[in-house]
Amino acid sequence: MPTFKLDGKDIPFEPGESIIKAAYRQGTEVPHYCWHPGLSAPANCRMCLVEIKPPPNQRALMLDVVEWDAKAGEYRPMQKPKLQPACQMPAVENQEVLSESSKHVLEARAHVQEFLLLNHPVDCPICDQAGECKLQDYWLEHQTTAKRMRDEPIHKPKAVVFGPTIVYDAERCVMCTRCIRFMDEVAQDPVLDMRERGNLNEITVAPGRELDGHYTFMTEHVCPVGALTTKDFRFKARVWFLKSAKSVCQGCATGCNSYVDFDPRYNKVQRYRPRDNEAVNKYWMCDEGMLSYRAAHEGRVLDARVGTKKTSVDTAVVEAKKRLSDVPSSSIAIVFSAQHSLEDNWAMRELAKQLGATSLYVSGAASGYADKILIDADKNSNTAGVLELVPNPKSFAQLLDDVRGGRVSHVVALGGLSPKNDPEDATALGMLGTLVVIAAHEGALTEAAHILLPATSWVEASGTYVNRQGFHQVADKALEPQGASRPAWEHARLIGRALGLEVSWTKLKDIRNSLTGGAPQAVTPHDTHDANDATTSVST
């Protein structure tokens, strides 16, 4: 692969790549505002200016200027390099580029910073972007001088409601146009534009429209400053109190790579952010996916139940033993969950083998809206994982038919959700002699359960999820288990041991060794910085 030098470091690049993107893929940042790896490059912020050293004996990239000589008391001619925007300059083999090591570049960046901050309000104490704002970071890195303008700054509209999810503060905006380009180029809905000129510029919504749809949260995510905020996260938490864990979106079968940002003081998830993976979701997530973090706390099963009475996990397991002992294996069915991890479903498969149960079914959320950008009609994160473990499971509808027909009388089910929650389903499930459910969330199965065991959600236990492309992706643990919840594979182990079965797993690594011979590997197309520039991300 060809390379060029950036501040003396060899940077490999692919043909056609710009200097800034090649550096970005190697984890080296060239300061920027308007550039984004997933969008076109307008080169309007001028923060990514670099010096490209001309070949010997050539002055093609030199500019004749005059400079004031204080000692001589006169202007004298000198030569300065023509600085070029790294976002539009293609990388060339053996090219030598100066960024942090050029005094001319550092001077230019300081001037750009000062220009951007001329009319910027001192909103840092109340701005949601504080702590992950590029204006703050670059001021410390490239300016650090006090404001020289003493005139009253230009005042613009504040807290403008762009739509159901986004609020805009024009005074903080640096006119990078990332939001405009995202809606135009990725969301395919050019509802945003820029009006006025110069220091009167501001972003506006098309007349008669509002910023809505399935990708509005991304306009806030690509914003490098605090101009755009989501109503969901606005004034909710300070980012320096949050920690991040690598995760996988549970909203659909796409399996978008993400960061879950949580507050360890309260053991609570506060938001989702996309994590770069060019092979799966590139740099994006949909609105529904970014809001799916709420399922970490909403609709949860946090206590064991026998009937409608809360009890301890141990008591519930003892009750399950009483109900399942001496039951013919032909009458027992195992229900897998497309909502739970590969490890959880593997434990259910092993339980089925030990019980001798051959009636295998799968359940999960019903299908829904889909598009050609990211959103899949399958609203389950691990359908492919279940099919990998159990090639031909019967559907949930077939389970109900078999219950009505008396072919199944006892069920051990993983997951509480069913494709549809109607009275006829509840009536059929009520015909079961025993229904043991291991679930993280309430649903039709948990409502009908005779014995309910609380399972951890995807943010409380590390798990592997197989997306629609067949990629095995790991969601790391973020929160401590809530209530009495435990990983579902552990509940399956407890049931197996209570029934006197030969349970072979005691830890998560035992299951992963059985699955793959080691820890599962996720897709790693490129190790890059986070596309929002807030943190550094390395794909799992």
Residue 533: the pLDDT is: 43
**Sheet strand arrangement including 49-52:** 9-12, 3-6, 96-98, 49-52, 84-85
Where does residue 267 rank: exposed (0-12), middle (13-18), buried (19+ CB within 10 A)?
middle
Averaged pLDDT of the chain:
91
Q: What whole-number distance in Å separates Cα of residue 324 and Cα of residue 307?
A: 15
Residue 528: the pLDDT is: 45
CB contact at 8 A, 11 and 3? yes
Residue 5: the pLDDT is: 95
Task: Look at residues 297, 272, 179 and name the one whose alpha carbon lies nearest to residue 228.
Answer: 179
Q: What whole-number distance in Å separates Cα of residue 322 and Cα of residue 329?
A: 15
Q: What would the pLDDT profile of 137-155 be if each residue is shown by its tens digit?
A: 999 988 888 888 888 999 9
Phi and psi angles of residue 348, each rounded to the nearest 5 degrees, phi first: -65, -35
Largest separation between any pair of C-alpha atoms in the chain: 104
- Residue 50 per-residue DSSP state: E
Instruction: Compute how many other C-beta atoms are within 10 angstroms of the C-beta atom of residue 59.
Output: 11
Tokens 């490239």: give the residue.
142
Alpha-carbon 99 to chain mean position? 31
Please report, as a single letter, which amino acid is at residue 96.
Answer: E
Task: Look at residues 403, 386, 496, 501 and name the one whose alpha carbon lies nearest to residue 444.
Answer: 403
Crossing angle of helices 342-355/508-516, nearest 10°?
80
Q: What whole-number distance in Å separates Cα of residue 179 and Cα of residue 160?
A: 15
Residue 531: the pLDDT is: 44
Tokens 């090639």: give the residue.
391
Q: How far lies 477's CA from each of 37, 243, 528, 537, in Å?
A: 28, 12, 22, 16
Dihedral angle sign, alpha carbons of residues 331, 337, 341, 342? positive
Residue 71: the pLDDT is: 77
SS3 label, residue 189 = coil
Q: What whole-number distance in Å separates Cα of residue 386 and Cα of residue 339?
A: 9
Please report, as a single letter, which amino acid is at residue 488.
Answer: A
Task: Look at residues 114, 218, 100 and name the one whose alpha carbon lies nearest to residue 166.
Answer: 218
Residue 146: the pLDDT is: 85
Residues 6+ apart with CB under 8 A from 309: none
Phi and psi angles of residue 365, each rounded to the nearest 5 degrees, phi first: -75, 155
CB contact at 8 A, 46 and 142? no
Q: What would the pLDDT profile of 477-497 be if each residue is shown by its tens digit?
A: 999 999 999 999 999 999 999
Q: Which helix (H) or strand (E) holds 344?
A: helix 342-355
- Residue 273 per-residue DSSP state: E
SS3 label, residue 169 = coil
SS3 label, residue 386 = helix
Q: What whole-number distance in Å separates Cα of residue 28 and Cα of residue 416?
A: 45
Q: What whole-number distance in Å separates Cα of residue 98 and Cα of residue 52?
A: 6
Q: What whole-number distance in Å separates Cα of residue 214 and Cα of residue 218?
A: 9
Bridge-partner residues for 475, per DSSP? 463
Residue 172: the pLDDT is: 95
Which residues of the chain are modeled with pLDDT < 70? Answer: 55-67, 78, 421, 517-540
Alpha-carbon 530 to chain mean position? 10
Q: What would the pLDDT profile of 148-201 be if each residue is shown by its tens digit?
A: 888 899 999 999 999 999 999 999 999 999 999 999 999 999 999 999 998 999
Bridge-partner residues for 473, per DSSP? 465
Q: What whole-number distance in Å separates Cα of residue 505 and Cα of residue 507?
A: 6
Residue 427: the pLDDT is: 87
Task: Look at residues 488, 145, 215, 509 and name the one whose alpha carbon lies nearest to residue 347.
Answer: 488
Q: How far lies 260's CA from each of 264, 272, 296, 477, in Å?
A: 12, 5, 10, 10
Residue 60: the pLDDT is: 56
